[in-house]
A and B are shown apart, each in its own frame.
Chain A
Amino acid sequence: MKNMKRSGFLLGALSGITVVANADHVFARALAQTPLPGLPGGENRCLVLINLQGGNDGLNCVVPHGDAQYYQIRPTIGIARGDVLTINERIGFNPNMKSFKSLYDKGLVAIVQSVGYPNPDHSHFRSTEIWQTAAPDKYEHTGWLGRYLDEAGLPKDNLFNGVAIAQVLPEVMVANKTDVPAIAQVNGYGLLSDRNSSARSTFAELIGDNRLPFNSPYLSHVAEIEDHAQKGSQELPKLIAGYKPAGTYPATPLGRSLSLAAQIIGSNVGTRVLYVQHGSFDTHVGQKPTQDRLLGEFSDAVKAFYDDLSAHGNENRVLTMTFSEFGRRIAENASRGTDHGEASPLFLIGGGVKGGIYGTYPDLSDTNMGNLKFATDFRSVYATVLERWLGRPSEAILQGRFDTVAAIA
């Protein structure tokens, strides 16, 4: 295992050097593979966060097929025991997650069960915000990864320390001192006017106009984003052009997002945290076809992602973590769907993970008004990722002390 990590790191470093040689740009410093302060092993590690938007129903994702109550309370949408991809006598994966199960069987997946937080909120917006800001008790405007980016001592002139593969910057990447680009796709990520050198240089001057005859609270934000848009879009396509994905990704939005994530990671542009999203899992009505399709897409895209990472020697550099704003009500509703619930499982994926089952099995008989009680605070999982994976102390970022989970060595 140790040797695998070394070789993965070396391969990554080599492809990074190739990019430096080709690109001739201002970000060379970020590509110098400087180990993070305090990073275990000094490896160039990344975290990829997958947001399963809308509230993924944990019980039909990691199915408690050994629990008779599950079938009583879900007479029409329950997943038949014979269809479940069995993990043990108690739980198994949704039948659409065959690819994901193959990763689990290789020991690359940790399932952390019954994750949640105290006094759960049932609103999509607020609960998403709670997971992204890691602040259940107050309104915090920075995300937990935004705070990580602010304090990790990453190269300030690198525009790609964090990248959100999304049209709109997610709250989890909102920082006080770091601007995270939100890039939906590289194709189209560039200014048409930059093709004209005169327009390009005048644009760069005008966007920085700081003697305006009015004041606006958004001025510095506008200037900064315009500047980053111009510089970043000039650089990123060049930086990642040398990367060729191995294998074929599914032609789904998540497949495309993870393919871009692998390309950015494999090009060694200094990115530490990436965000992608998938959904919507908000299955109030007719849950099964929707969730089955989404879980299938998730499973196939993640498998393709790790195959690609692995072919480039990056699988041990990359930890992927899923989250969803909440699980769903245990009982199905009359529309063959489920309403907003509370605790649910999340996944940690990658070569650095100690595969297996962590946390407490969901208890369908001891509920919080029909919702699963949480046993592991999500901030414990965040603390694990920050301390054991990204090598940063978690207390300041999470604004509290949380036990870590043994899922990462």
Chain B
Amino acid sequence: MKAQNEYRPSMFHGLWALTTRELKKWLKEPIILLMAVLQPIIWMGFFGKAMNLNAMFSAENLGNINMPNIQIPGYLANPPVNGVIVIPDAVLSQQLQETFSSIGSNVIQSIFGVADYFSYMSVGMISMIVMFTTMFSGMSIVWDRRLGFLDKVLSTPVSRAAIILSKVLNAALRAMFQATIILALAVVFGLHLSPTFSPLNLLGVYAAIFLLSTGLSSLFLAVALRSTRQETQMAIVNLINMPLMFASNTLTPISMMPEFIQVIARVNPVSYLTDAVRQLTILPLNTSTLLIDFIYLGVFASVLSSIGIVLSWRYLTK
């Protein structure tokens, strides 16, 4: 009985215990997983497929425009002729169709970098998963506080940082798992992988997801540290998530946006994740931009998780 309290609780022991708690809860409720995956699937299946840009810019559509017969005054011809030259509509349509037959995919290729919009946006869905998964880590700490679980944990010698990091880690692992499902489904639905893709690239994809999840969930947790109301938390999270998603390259390329959104999109870490994942899957790999993506994500993750840990030392105990 003498040496009963002599254990040296290591940071990782507590961290792992709290993380497995969250993971167990998650695995026991397959519904939560299903709902989390369903949303990006719906986006992919409906929005991704409905926004059929290739068809919109197809030769058929352009050729179907009603063409009148065009009359050209004879003196404009070379050499000039008397009277009027008539070009019949059928000839005109055919000419246009021929000219435009490849313009659709050319336009898409030059805007999006890939030949179809579906590939482009379904990779964007991975960013969406990260955003929506991490926002729940903020909610879950509010829950824990409400239920008294947090107070109980706070009364144990477990490291305060472990409380925060377990939620961060849990969000990252969830996001990685869900992203795998989405990526696999996207391939089934018709995602075109780039020739530079190799299974090894997936490790890079996971690393990028891990970094953004760490940063974002630290952010949401920091906001939720002292909060007791899910409603407030929900409102804040929605406020942050919407601009994060729309002012990024998740659904549309940054270069197509008006100036002021471009500014936001270029500092938005979500853009860097999306870009990194695109580079690793559907785009021809450009090592230097990929490096920039990873540096940016790495800095974002380490700064925000440090802030989260420092705040948890200070503010978790009131």
Instruction: Please say whether chains A and B are actual partners in one complex.
Output: no
